[in-house]
């Protein structure tokens, strides 16, 4: 999905949530435009904070 969004030059902020947590996955997510990476299981407050952060960063532009 990230690759398709990048191909379409989307500015939609994306938070990746994955059980796989290694540098290659983090690097790929960054390369494809993810704004944040969270490892499962995700704490509810951490996810809400991440959503607030990426949406606020987008609004500030």
Pick 49 or 11 by higher pLDDT.
49
User: What is the per-residue pLDDT for 57?
Assistant: 80
State pTM to two decimals: 0.84
Task: Count structural domains, the chain.
Answer: 1
User: What is the per-residue pLDDT for 23?
Assistant: 94
Contact 19, 37 (CB under 8 A): no
Query: In the chain, count of helices (H) and strands (E)?
Result: 3, 2
* Alpha-carbon distances, residue 14 vs 8, 9, 58 (angstroms): 14, 13, 11
Q: Which domain holds residue 24?
A: 2-60
User: In the predicted model, what is the mean pLDDT of residues 41-49?
Assistant: 97
User: What is the per-residue pLDDT for 60?
Assistant: 81
The span from the CA of 20 to the CA of 35, in Å, is 17
Phi, psi for 23 (deg, rounded to 5): -60, -35
Tens of pLDDT, residues 4-44:
999 999 989 999 999 999 999 999 999 999 999 999 999 99
């Amino acid at each position: 999905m990230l690759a398709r969004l990048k191909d379409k030059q989307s500015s939609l902020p994306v938070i990746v949530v994955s059980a796989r947590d290694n540098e290659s996955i983090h690097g790929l997510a960054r390369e494809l435009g993810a704004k944040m990476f969270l490892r499962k299981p995700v704490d509810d407050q951490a996810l809400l904070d991440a959503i607030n952060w990426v949406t606020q960063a987008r609004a500030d532009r």
